[in-house]
Amino acid sequence: MKKDLLKLLDVSGEEIKLILDTADELKAEWKAGKKHDFPKDKTLVMIFAKNSTRTRVSFEVGMTHLGGHAIFLSNADSQLGRGEPIADTARVLSRYCDCIMIRTFDQEDVEELAKYSTVPVINGLTDFSHPCQILADIMTIREHKGKLEGLKACWIGDGNNVANSMIVGCLKCGMDVSVACPEGYRPDKQVLDFANSFTGAKFELTDDPKVAAKGADVIFTDVWTSMGQEGETEKRMKAFAGYLIDDSIMALANPGCMVQHCLPAHKGEEITEKVFEEHAQEIFDEAENRLHAQKALMYLLMKQNTGAVAK
């Protein structure tokens, strides 16, 4: 695996499988009350320029489970918020810690941090992607369905950061992917170029949620207004009218179709309360699996990293 996990475009299908297999093992071990075989003195620094509940808590708890420690650094009250360059921040943090997780706006900032860091950098969400979320989602689908290859994964709603990662991750795991987004809210061009030239599974992009949902084994959605887009809320509510996941959409899917939502959800907007509650087990398994998938990622990346200056 590469030193960092910046986006799923950088990771192969085999590497995703390794992360998922490791996550399953760590999850089983932890549930059986066993301690993990991992050095006890590792430190993760978590940089947040946006809000978080799941990402912050699951990474911090994950480090506790691995016998290490996590430090929360908000953009606003660190020197990053006063303009200290990312390249310098990366070189400083690399002297102290064993891994860096960052949630911010520009994907380029995460790439810059990784370029100058000698320790692994993990993307905890940017405007472009949310790879940790999709690792957890794919883990959840495999737990519930017992397989990935040949399933049909469907995205309905905004072609946002989570959608970008979902398309790449699901295709690389051998799932067919269909996406329904209104024009103007489609996934990133880099992701569409990847999907359209991918030969291992089928990809379909439409503006009709009914077409996308047909024969689906798992339907994904997310909020229509992501963090940083609050000023566009009204415009977005109009653009996404008709993209609600309700009983009529679920009726078009395969029997036993799962629902995945990264959370937080705006029930009554992108998904009805009824569909959400009927699939709450899958959705909260998904939230739980953030912990296990990220533990696996930290475990694999920290174990393989030999470039750390301070060690």
Task: Tell me the residue type at 27.
Answer: K
In our burial notation (b when 16+ CB lie closer than 10 A, e otherwise), range 75-95 reads beebebeeeeebeebbeebbe
**Enzyme catalytic residues:** 103, 130, 133, 222, 262, 290
Tell me which of ligand NVA, ligand CP, none is bound by residue 61, counting a contact when its beta carbon lies within the kind-specific cut-off of 5 to 8 angstroms: none
90-97: which pairs have CB atoms within 8 A and are 24 or more residues apart?
Answer: 90/114, 90/115, 90/116, 90/117, 90/121, 91/116, 91/117, 93/45, 93/117, 93/119, 94/118, 94/119, 94/308, 94/309, 94/310, 95/309, 95/310, 96/43, 96/45, 96/310, 97/43, 97/44, 97/45, 97/71
Tell me which of ligand CP, ligand NVA, none is bound by residue 222, counting a contact when its beta carbon lies within the kind-specific cut-off of 5 to 8 angstroms: ligand NVA
Query: Which residue among 262, 287, 300, 302 contacts ligand NVA (CB under 6 A)?
Result: 262
Q: Does 161 bind ligand NVA (CB under 6 A)?
A: yes
**How near is the Cβ of 138 to ligand NVA at its closest, in Å?**
16
Among 215, 139, 201, which Cα is nearest to 172's? 201
Tell me which of ligand CP, ligand NVA, none is bound by residue 160, counting a contact when its beta carbon lies within the kind-specific cut-off of 5 to 8 angstroms: ligand NVA
Cβ atoms within 10 A of the Cβ of 255, count?
5
Cα separation, 172 vs 135, in Å, equals: 11
Q: Backbone phi, then psi, for 156, in 5-degree steps?
A: -125, 125
Using CB under 6 A, list all residues that contact ligand CP: 52-55, 125, 133, 262-263
Query: Which residue among 107, 123, 140, 160 contacts ligand NVA (CB under 6 A)?
Result: 160
Choice between 52 and 254, CB closer to ligand CP: 52
**How near is the Cβ of 166 to ligand CP at its closest, in Å?**
12
Phi-psi bin for 273: left (phi > 0), alpha (psi -120 to 50), beta? alpha
**How near is the Cβ of 269 to ligand NVA at its closest, in Å?**
13
Q: Closest-CB residue for ligand CP? A: 55
Choice between 166 and 201, CB closer to ligand CP: 166
Continuous segment of H or E residues that includes residue 113: helix 107-116
Stretch of 158-166, 188-196, 203-211, 236-244 lying at the interface with ligand NVA (CB under 6 A):
158-166
Parallel, antiparallel, or unpaired: how do β-strands 152-156 and 218-221 relate? parallel
Tell me which of ligand NVA, ligand CP, none is bound by residue 27, counting a contact when its beta carbon lies within the kind-specific cut-off of 5 to 8 angstroms: none
Choice between 97 and 219, CB closer to ligand NVA: 219
Choice between 19 and 125, CB closer to ligand NVA: 125
Stretch of 112-120, 180-188, 204-212, 223-231 lying at the interface with ligand NVA (CB under 6 A):
223-231
**What does DSSP assign to residue 182?**
-
Q: Does 57 bind ligand NVA (CB under 6 A)?
A: no
**How near is the Cβ of 205 to ligand NVA at its closest, in Å?**
19
Q: Does 223 bind ligand NVA (CB under 6 A)?
A: yes
Handedness of CA 179, 287, 138, 136 (dihedral sign): positive
Q: Which residues bind ligand NVA (CB under 6 A)?
A: 125, 160-162, 222-223, 226-227, 262
